[in-house]
Amino acid sequence: MLLNSGSTTPIYVQIAEWLENEILNGNLEKGDKVFSQYKLADKFTINPATAAKGLNLLYEEGILYNKRGLGKFVSEEAMEIILEKRKNQKLKGLLVEAVQEAKRLQVSENDLLQMLKDMMEEKKGD
């Protein structure tokens, strides 16, 4: 993954989202040690303090926990926390935008729901 330095999303948030995606994709599981701030800094060519800020964001949310002297690890509840957070923030935001656009385009509620159902059916195999 490449970080988008031109994005309005801060780099440390992009680091946190990348780690969340690694957990969601099963590349990092409960109890796994995550990259140190220095490894993340090297991997993404960023300042270690920026990487640490991304790690600390996930720590504050309960997605990661500290083992003193060993680093940060994926918490037991990480998957549930991420899923709930993404549903409540990202997905709802996308739905708000879709509903607003549907209203502007005079798409009926039934047509919008059908479009959503069709899209879900298309993506079942993915």
Per DSSP (E only), the strands in 7-122 are: 64-67, 71-74
Q: Collapse the DSSP code of 44 into the 3-class scheme (helix H, G, I; strand E, B; otherwise coil) and give the result.
A: helix
- Domain 11-77 of CATH type 1.10.10.10: yes
pTM given for the model: 0.75
Residue 36 CA to its chain's centroid (Å): 18
Residue 1 has pLDDT above 70, yes or no: no
Of the chain, the end-to-end C-alpha distance in Å amounts to 20
Rounded CA separation 120/66 (Å): 38
Residue 5 has pLDDT above 80, yes or no: no
Read off the pLDDT of residues 58-117 as tens digits, 9 standing for 90 and up.
999 999 999 999 999 999 999 999 999 998 888 888 899 999 999 999 999 999 999 999
Residue 61 CA to its chain's centroid (Å): 12
